[in-house]
Amino acid sequence: RHLAPSSISLTKLAAEAANNALSKANINVKDIDLIILATSTPDDLFGSASQLQAEIGATSSTAFDITAACSGFIIALVTASQFIQAGSYNKVLVVGADTMSRWIDWSDRTSCILFGDGAGAVL
């Protein structure tokens, strides 16, 4: 299980995953129309999608968060698919990222062993 250092924000984890996905797909960040960030642990109260957008330089895209706990990434994928099928957006970046180690009760051994930190992205 991965535990992110306290110096690494959720946005930084998400940006690393996003940049890796963009690189592997050989897609320029300026071509991304929409960013959906699925997270239950944003960097601040108002979500982190716009911070991710700024971090990766996606200046012409729309960005929003989905907070749906364990099912968040799947819901983000379905949402992205629906936007594409409707013709609203062509290139969508979906990122799932969480830093659960900062929120869990480490004294509760029945649940703390289940959670870690990480991020993944698809286009």
The enclosing domain of 74 has a CATH number of 3.40.47.10
Distance of CA 22 to the CA centre of its chain: 14
pTM of full prediction above 0.95:
no
Domain that holds residue 58: 10-122
Count the domains in the chain.
1
Residue 84: enclosing H or E segment and its boundaries? Answer: helix 72-85
Give, as one character, the DSSP assignment of residue 35: E
8 Å CB contact between 4 and 37: no
Tens of pLDDT along the chain (123 residues)? 677 878 889 999 999 999 999 999 999 999 999 999 999 999 998 889 999 999 999 999 999 999 998 899 999 999 999 999 999 999 999 999 999 888 777 788 877 777 788 999 999
Classify residue 54: in a domain, yes or no. yes
Q: How many helices (H) and strands (E) does the chain have?
A: 3, 4
